[in-house]
Amino acid sequence: TTTKRAYNFNAGPSALPLEVLQKAQAELVDFQGTGMSVMELSHRSATFEAVHNEAIANLRKLFAVPDNYEIVFLQGGASLQFSMIPMNFLTEGKRANYVLTGSWSEKALKEAKFSGEAVASVSTKENKYKNIPTEVEVGENDAYVHITSNNTIYGTQWKTFPETGNVPLIADMSSDIMSKPVDISKFGMIYAGAQKNLGPSGVTVAIIRKDLLESANTNLPTMLKYDTFVANNSLYNTPPTFGIYMLGEVLKWIEAQGGLEQVAKNNEAKAALIYDAIDNSNGFYYGHAEEGSRSLMNITFRVADEELEKQFLKEAEEAGFVGLSGHRSVGGCRASTYNAVPTEACQALADFMKAFQAKHQ
Ligand code: PLP
């Protein structure tokens, strides 16, 4: 097609697969012969329920979610999960254990403190969040251990997940969910806002082990209790129907790519193009994250010369690259290379970085 598409490196909301957008466009005003948009369907209709159930089933299949886990769709973003997790799982007399690897884990900890005792057992803040810790400290009395699997702002990512014994491990996977296969059985719960790897903003996915649900706090407002969503197949109230439809289409796209094994290979190759441009620049560019902790989803880097960095971002924008400014809290540059960012866009950025260096060095 001749559709004009930006080289979109936004951190979130982020690029969606072109094929998914085109399918949604084709179906927008008449979904499956109903004479209605999917957005206009009752969430109680058989047509919508089929979309909803297919999305859940495909998520279970593609992400290999075992039978002893529930999958729910929520609203309020990953940020509301920061509150719901301690409300539900920080039970009487227990302590919530947070591993701090960036701003999002700090925010998660802050919310947990409203529900009870919550501590940062490990933090890499002193190292400017450039690395992922090699070990975590688990207490006997911990209700759960919480990690952020990928740190969107600092560009670090857990490569192997920590062992927490009998204590449930809970992971905020907002910025790397379904970027690679994961052994779900290692986790008590995984959650993610959809707007990076899975669809548009507005829908949040949670995958929760059943025994954790069974021992959860019960004296909670209806909409803040996971059980409400589990017991009603995430249809207790009106769900974000368009977001769920889009998420379902993104899952079909992931399957068409060859599933998560293939998507992981693509992501490794994409990130390598940009990391190579950094590493082979003789210090013209340098990465923020330590090498062993580098994210394959958010590549954070600096142009060593501060004045040239401004020029880099300006020229990149003029050349059609979107979203390359680092998060306002850390500055510098960041390229987010989520699933839907094509290899071609990463190659174009690597080429641009090399050309910019050649011109300005
Ligand atoms: N956690 C991580 C790792 C994120 O990257 C983000 C958003 O960028 C959030 C949480 C917050 O998500 P939301 O905006 O869906 O509340």
pLDDT in tens, 38-97: 999 999 999 999 999 999 999 999 999 999 999 999 999 999 999 999 999 999 999 999
- Which atom of ligand 1 lies nearest, measured to the CA of 11? 8
Residue 283 confidence (pLDDT) above 80: yes
- Averaged pLDDT of the chain: 97
Q: For position 296, what pLDDT does the model report?
A: 98
From the number of C-beta atoms within 10 Å of its C-beta (0-12, 13-18, 19+), residue 105 rates as buried
**Please, which pLDDT band fits residue 197 given cuts at 50, 70 and 90?**
very high
Q: Is the ipTM of this complex over 0.90?
A: yes
Residue nearest to atom 12 of ligand 1 (CA): 78
> Which member of 196, 227, 253, 270 is catalytic?
196
**Please, which pLDDT band fits residue 1 given cuts at 50, 70 and 90?**
low
**Please, which pLDDT band fits residue 338 given cuts at 50, 70 and 90?**
very high
Q: How many Cα atoms occupy the beta-carbon half-sphere of 310 within 13 Å?
A: 2
Task: Look up 158 and say whether it is catalytic.
Answer: no
Tell me the CA–centroid distance for residue 283 and ligand 1, in Å: 31
Residue type, 172: D
Beta bridge partners of 294: 156
Q: pLDDT tens digits, residue range 90-118?
A: 999 999 999 999 999 999 999 999 999 99
Residue 82 to residue 106: CA distance in whole angstroms: 10
> Which member of 130, 142, 158, 172 is catalytic?
172
Residue 206 confidence (pLDDT) above 70: yes
> What structural domains and CATH numbers belong to the chain?
19-256 (3.40.640.10), 258-360 (3.90.1150.10)
Q: For position 329, what pLDDT does the model report?
A: 85
Q: For position 349, what pLDDT does the model report?
A: 98
For the four alpha carbons of 31, 34, 35 and 39, in that order, the dihedral sign comes to negative
Residue 338 to residue 320: CA distance in whole angstroms: 18
pTM above 0.95, yes or no: yes
- Which atom of ligand 1 lies nearest, measured to the CA of 76? 16
Task: Look up 172 and say whether it is catalytic.
Answer: yes
CB atoms within 10 A of CB 322: 15
Q: What residues line ligand 1, using a CB cutoff of 6 Å?
A: 12, 77-79, 104, 148, 152, 172, 174-175, 193
Q: pLDDT tens digits, residue range 225-245?
A: 999 999 999 999 999 999 999
Tell me the CA–centroid distance for residue 78 and ligand 1, in Å: 5
Task: Look up 104 and say whether it is catalytic.
Answer: yes
Residue 86 to residue 111: CA distance in whole angstroms: 8
Q: Which of 10, 14, 85, 104 to mutate to test the pocket of ligand 1 (most atoms within 8 A of CB)?
A: 104
Tell me the CA–centroid distance for residue 155 and ligand 1, in Å: 14
